[in-house]
Structure 1
Amino acid sequence: MDRRAVQARYKLSDQILSDYDIWIKNDDTSSNEYEYTDTDLVYLQTIAELYTIGFNSDEVTTYLQLNEYSQQTTTQQIRLLTLKRNEKLADIHQCEDQVAAIDYLRLQLNEGKQYGHNREK
């Protein structure tokens, strides 16, 4: 399957295809003439998924290098995924705290208790 067909069918960005071309094919020409194989598609889907979950390009590179060069990479890959999961959970908890603070301020406003509202003059 050529680059345009892969891009359209799997909704992959130019960035993902270019990264793949550099990281896996070791070619940065981004040629439309290259035919992607089923193996290529597995790598491309992995790269897309890693970006979707919040990996940056350095983290994607590290993840793929583990996959590419080491026989015992599962533990290391799980560690990288766990670190990213913990980051996302920390973000979620921070957002939950912010929502709780918003709810508290809304409650205070609704009860007229903030900033002296409903005070007699």
Structure 2
Amino acid sequence: MSDQVLNDYDTWIRRDETGPAKRQYGDTDLVYLQTIAALYTMGFTAEEVATYLQFDERDQRTTAQRLRLLTRKRKERLAEIHQCESQVAAIDYLRFHLNAGSQNVHDRTQ
């Protein structure tokens, strides 16, 4: 686990500012730590992670709120993927034309 994940967990969940040398975590802590790490991996900001963690897992209303956060992040990531796909397609188009132009130059010199 990264120090950021551990520090965030200590601040948001445990509300403990104990230094890293004195930290001890149990099985219940591991679930939160894995969730925080996963959210950061998904591209959530620290503020978004904190918001996500504020929602009570047992409350149906907050389940819907967490789902909305995840759905929004999913849409953001898909938009980024589609933008990258468009950029790759533009690169491929230019490469094709450069290669085709190169072939035409070779054909003319023969």
TM-score, length-scaled by structure 2: 0.86
Alignment of 1:40 onto 2:29: yes
Within-5 A mapping of 1:90-105:
90-105=79-94
Runs of 5+ in structure 2 lacking a partner?
Answer: none
Asked if residue 49 in structure 1 is aligned to residue 49 in structure 2, the reply is no
CA contact (8 A) 1:18 1:30 kept: no
Q: Which residue of 1 aligns with 2:99?
A: 110
Question: Which amino acid in the other structure matches residue 88 of structure 1?
Answer: R
Aligned equivalents of 2:10 and 2:17: distance in 1?
A: 6
1:16 and 1:47 in contact (8 A); partners too: yes
Q: What TM-score, normalized to structure 1?
A: 0.78
Percent of matched pairs sharing the same residue: 62
**CA deviation vs aligned residue, 1:35-70 (integer Å, no higher than 9, x gap):** 2121111000000000010001000000000137x7
| Displacement after TM superposition at 1:73 (Å) | 1.2
- The question of 1:81 aligning with 2:70 is answered yes
- Aligned twin of 1:5: none
Give CA-to-partner distance per residue, 1:63-121, whole Å, 9 cap, x none: 000137x72211100100000000000000000000100000001001118xxx84x9x
Moved segments of 4+, more than 6 Å: none
Q: Could you say what the CA RMSD is over the residues aligned between the two structures, in angstroms?
A: 1.9
The verdict on how the C-alpha distance between 1:31 and 1:102 changes in structure 2, with shifts beyond 3 A counting, is closer
Per residue, is there more helix in 1 or in 2?
A: 2
1:8-23 to 2 correspondence within 5 Å? 12-23=1-12
